[in-house]
Structure 1
Amino acid sequence: MAGSIAMTLGIGGIGLWLAMSWLYPYLLRYLQYKEMYKPNYQGVMIPLAVGWLIPFSQLFAWPGAVYGGLFSHWLTQTTVIWGIAYAGWRDDQFGGLEAKGLGGHFALWWKEGRFTTGLWKVVIASFLAGLVSILFSNSLVELLLHFFLLILTTNLINLLDLRPGRALKGFFGLFLLLLSFTSLSLSVALWLPTVMACLFLIRGDLKARSMLGDTGSNSLGMVLGCWIVFFASNSLKWIILTIAILIHIYAEKRSLTILIQNTPVLHWVDMLGRTKDKKKTRINS
């Protein structure tokens, strides 16, 4: 069994890496065509929304999902990731800095009647979260639990995506948690494409040469939410939901970046692998 899983990981991982290596240059050309080169936190112009690679990676999973009896999970996961990626893409293209956080977008709508791209993203995320919750819940309480989990995890990774590599590190942290405490480890077809896409993108992200954008960070949050709904126990779901609520409340009032900078362990993890070079603008993932 262990040997079979290792072989699947090896062959599947190599195949996915080669596929993404082929696809990535076309993605960069498309982003350039759409004028999606934006200033990063240092003011350097770099490609935004390279996170499109994450929904594309899901397409390579269907043979393994069919073989492993996970087709319904794969189809649901792939559908909602593409949906939220498109919503994030529109926000990357047309969203501004007029509102901060979920509360800011709702306040702008309430006071000025402005329906921002960020608020449209909330509407789409709510629809997608509702779809998953209806399909994978056995009671009203479980449906509500799943709905709010999906909404908050979708935005959670986005909250972290303010410095190079931070969103991907947050994703890997939650992924390892789920791998350790759920049956996710047995469903290689569902997680291997996403993990390989993240490994492919992390070098460019850490070096501040590319940005996932809301396209990527919201996709990662949604896929984590799906895995939690599919594989976590109810007790773990409640724990994750509680932590996600607390993080969102904190982020509405204070800066997560300042908290990370002032917490030695978090700051060390945050700086791990990052570069101080401000001049390079080209991506070499």
Structure 2
Amino acid sequence: MELLIGGGLGWLLTLLLLPFFLRFLQENGSACLNYRGHLIPVGTGLVFVFVYLLEAFLLFRWHATPKVAFFLLGMIFFAFLGFIDDLLGSRGSKGLRGHFGALFRGRLTTGTLKALGGGVAALLVAAGSLAGRPLWENITAAVLIALTANTINLLDLRPGRAVKVSLLWFLILLVGFRGDSDLLLLAPLAGGLCAYAPCDLRGKAMLGDTGSNLIGAGLGMVTAWVLPFSTQLLVVAILILLHLFTEKYSLTEIVERNRFLRFLDRLGRRGEEAKGGNDDV
């Protein structure tokens, strides 16, 4: 019942708040030209920060453990790092290799700041929420959180792609660990993404680093809390391989070459929105 209430309230709050955030972002310069040459808001994932602030009282009531505070602080901090990148980031350096390469040349990029800040935040969240666990479990959880945040960011390259994968990730956790109370923490996000999805699928707005970081951090934290350690290691290995792959190859090109993946990727888009995407900004 709590999952339904949390998800339903997340859906309703996002539905009500989203138009105001879209207007606010566009009027204050947080907008980019999309592939069709239309100026659309970027960083709309900021709406989920306020959804969680409004639902925080329920989460503290339903889940009376320190994890709630770590979860909320972690998501807000990751969203803040992403918002900085959305506002100030340049496209001169791409990928982890590009950003850290720039750092070694004496230039700090917003991508490097996001990676370093996210890594520290993930370590603090893991150490605080998993207090008493062995050091290697804390480090593994931190790596999982940081990699998941960046993975959702990597996927936010076409309308609806990051939203679909995030909802699928939540459903997998729900099916596999439906009795775990930590899943309640993701209910507002799942409901909010359902309300936001049509806007993203139509190419009318972008989650941006703000949204993808927040979503990925939330998924990563709960995944680290519900999975056994051995399974966490497997997930971390898969995410590392994905990151190495995307440093060399274009994920979008791979999807476009595979008929089934292309079908899933374009599912839900309308008209010409299915022909382009958020990475053509």
Please say whether Structure 1 and Structure 2 have the same fold, judged by a TM-score greater than 0.5. Answer: yes
Alpha-carbon distance in structure 1 between the residues aligned to 2:57 and 2:75: 18
Q: Is 1:170 aligned to 2:165, yes or no?
A: yes
- The range that moved more, 172-181 or 151-160, is 172-181
1:161 matches 2:159 = no
Q: 202, 216, 231: which is aligned to 2:197?
A: 202
| Secondary structure of 1:164's aligned partner | coil
* Residue in structure 2 matching 1:66, options 60, 79, 83: 60
Name the Cα RMSD after superposition.
1.8
Question: Within 5 Å, which residues of 2 pair with 1:1-285?
Answer: 5=1, 8-111=2-105, 113-135=106-128, 136-137=130-131, 138-183=133-178, 186-187=181-182, 189-277=184-272
Compared CA separation, residues 198 and 184, structure 1 to 2 (3 A): farther
Paired residue secondary structure (2:203): coil
Counterpart of 2:262 in structure 1: which amino acid? Answer: H
Question: C-alpha deviations, 1:176-206, integer Å up to 9, x for none?
Answer: 2212223565445311110111111110100
Which whole-Å CA distance do the structure 2 matches of 1:245 and 1:31 have between them?
Answer: 33
The aligned residue for residue 283 of structure 1 is: none
Further displaced range: 185-194 or 256-265? 185-194
Moved over 3 A (4+): 8-18, 183-189
1:197-243 deviation per Cα after TM superposition (whole angstroms, max 9, x unaligned): 11111101001011000000111110111111211111221121111
Q: Secondary structure at the match of 1:50?
A: coil
1:92-115 Cα deviation digits (max 9, x unpaired): 01111111111110011213x110
Residue 12 of structure 1, CA deviation: 4.1
Match of 2:225, as an amino acid? F
Flag structure 1 segments of 5+ consecutive residues without an equivalent.
279-285
Percent of residue pairs identical:
34
Q: Distance between the aligned counterparts of 1:13 and 1:241, measured in 2?
A: 28
Change (3 A) 1:36 1:274: same
8 Å Cα contact 2:84-2:110 kept in structure 1: yes
Task: Quote the offset at 1:150 in angstroms.
Answer: 1.2
Give the distance between the partners of 1:10 and 1:252, measured in 2 at CA: 39
Deviation digits for residues 120-156 of structure 1, max 9, x if unmatched? 1112101210111111150111012112111111100
Rounded to whole Å, the distance in 1 between the matches of 2:231 and 2:84 is 33
- AA aligned to 1:204 is C
Q: Equivalents in 1 of 2:134, 2:250: separation in Å?
A: 37
User: Take 2:215 and 2:110, find their aligned partners in 1: how far apart are those partners?
Assistant: 19
Q: What is the deviation of 1:32?
A: 2.3
Deviates more, 1:174-183 or 1:99-108: 174-183
- Which amino acid in structure 1 is aligned with residue 123 of structure 2? G
One-letter amino acid of the counterpart of residue 210, structure 2 = T
Alpha-carbon distance between aligned partners in 1 of 2:182 and 2:119, rounded to the nearest angstrom: 26
Distance (whole Å) between structure 2 residues aligned to residue 76 and residue 191 of structure 1: 13
**Structure 2 vs 1, CA of residues 70 and 270 (structure 1 numbering), >3 Å: closer, same or farther?**
farther
Quote the Cα distance in structure 2 between the aligned partners of 1:223 and 1:252.
Answer: 24
SS in 2 for 1:46: strand
Comparing 205-214 with 43-52, greater Cα deviation is found at: 43-52
TM-score by length of 2: 0.90
The residue type paired with residue 79 of structure 2 is A
Corresponding letter in the other structure for 2:190: V
SS of the aligned residue for 2:272 comes to coil
Mapped partners of 1:23, 1:57: distance in 2: 8
